[in-house]
Amino acid sequence: MTGQSYAPVVETATLADIDALLAFWAIAGENDARPSDSAPAVEALLRRDPDAVLVVRAEGRIVGTVIAGWDGWRAHLYRLAVHPDHRRQGIARLLLDAAEARLRALGAGRFDAMVLEGNDLGASAWAARGYAPQPEWRRWVRSAR
């Protein structure tokens, strides 16, 4: 599939895409040290914010994603992923252009990206876009259960 010729278009994911999103992230996403994705969680996100999950498709299959989350004053970008067979074709750039435009239109003045420590591929993609680690911050988490 590498080198395929198609004009990628960014779309919003729908509830009908949940299984495809989960299958895609299992292949293309960075899944270490994070809770497993689940259909109920993705459904809850899509019902609460139907425009948050942006996708690019090739031949009807999802080949790229990003989630552009907005809580009213902070803009969060996460689950940026491109299928290994479709990398280095500008899909991540296209997704981030659309995600940043969405968040800017909602009022965001700054974007932050969630990148796991040790995810060198992800870190280099974000750095190429002009993002940098914010050393004075460290993420703290606690299970909701």
Looking at residue 19, which CATH number applies to its domain? 3.40.630.30
Q: Is the pLDDT of residue 8 over 80?
A: yes
Q: What is the mean pLDDT of residues 124-129?
A: 90
User: Could you tell me the CA-to-CA distances from 123 to 74, 79, 142 in Å, in that order?
Assistant: 20, 13, 24
145 domain-assigned: no
- Rounded to two decimals, the pTM is 0.89
- Domain-embedded: residue 88: yes
> Is 80 domain-assigned?
yes
| Contacts of 70 by beta carbon, 8 Å cutoff, 6+ apart | 49, 52, 76, 102, 103, 106, 107, 108
Q: What number is the average pLDDT over the span 63-90? A: 93
- Is residue 4 situated within a structural domain? no
Asked if residue 72 belongs to a domain, the reply is yes
Look over the chain and give the mean of its residue pLDDT values, rounded to a whole number.
Answer: 89
- Let me know if residue 140 belongs to a domain: no
Task: Tell me the mean pLDDT in the region 18-40.
Answer: 85
Output the pLDDT for position 46: 97
Q: Supply the DSSP symbol for 90.
A: S
Range of the domain at 117: 10-128
- Count of the separate structural domains present in the chain: 1
Average pLDDT over residues 40-45: 95
Residue 36 has pLDDT above 90, yes or no: no
On the question of pLDDT at 31 being above 70, the answer is: no
pLDDT value of position 5: 61
Tokens of 26: 């299992």
pLDDT at res. 3: 52
- Tell me, yes or no, whether 63 lies in a domain: yes
pLDDT reported for residue 6? 67
